[in-house]
Chain A
Amino acid sequence: GAGVSQSPSNKVTEKGKDVELRCDPISGHTALYWYRQSLGQGLEFLIYFQGNSAPDKSGLPSDRFSAERTGGSVSTLTIQRTQQEDSAVYLCASSTPSGTGGSTDTQYFGPGTRLTVL
């Protein structure tokens, strides 16, 4: 079956512009996570969705970052007024949460979007 997909695969933008990154999770996975992978900080959690709600936003680095999820499926991560320190690979992962009888705890990752802010 199809895995997690992300688009675009690469995005180059100018400082100060807004960007939108998209994630299509595995069908039926109700949990969705965004992470960021950068040279300086390694892999960092950003936000967690259960269905369309985001009960854990503790990893968002500033109020320039926001995310939404619609229809319990596709999610969009938006970065406003991009800065050079936002350059990183943004990863999306989906899973079946604990207690639902699925493969609990295992998160399946997409290929990522490489964001470069000039």
Chain B
Amino acid sequence: GDSVTQMEGPVTLSEEAFLTINCTYTATGYPSLFWYVQYPGEGLQLLLKATKADDKGSNKGFEATYRKETTSFHLEKGSVQVSDSAVYFCALSDLNMSGSEKLVFGKGTKLTVNP
């Protein structure tokens, strides 16, 4: 079945450092790819998404490019802030016969940014 593998955390960075969180996927079809973020004490929020190969999703300075050839969707940010401290989840959805677009998540990567 479909699966998502993302780098294990925790990741600790200093403010203004460069961030990369690796994510690779396995899917039988042509999935959409997502990064969700969970800030401390809050619910899951969509950070960015890409629905087809070579699409780049971006939001709040974060970017990820859908790479079909390497089945990857790595999250990057050029200069992290303390407020970016959160748990980041890579996910995919693939439309199935039932019409479900259920999300398959990676295990999450906890990011801590120190001032």
Query: Residues of A at under 8 Å CB distance from B?
Result: 31, 33, 35, 42-45, 48, 50, 55-56, 59, 91, 93, 95, 97-98, 104-112
Contacts and interface: CB of A to CB of B under 8 A. Distances in A.
Interface residues of B, number: 26
Interface majority SS (helix, strand, loop, mixed), chain A: strand
B96 A56 contact: yes
Interface of B: 32, 34, 36, 42-46, 49, 51, 89, 91, 93, 95-96, 98-108
Nearest to B102: A45
Nearest to B45: A109
B89 A105 contact: no
A35 B95 CA distance: 17
B44 A55 contact: no
Contact of B93 (A105, A108, A110): A105
B44 A31 contact: no
B98 A111 contact: no
Contacts of A43: 89, 91, 103, 105, 108
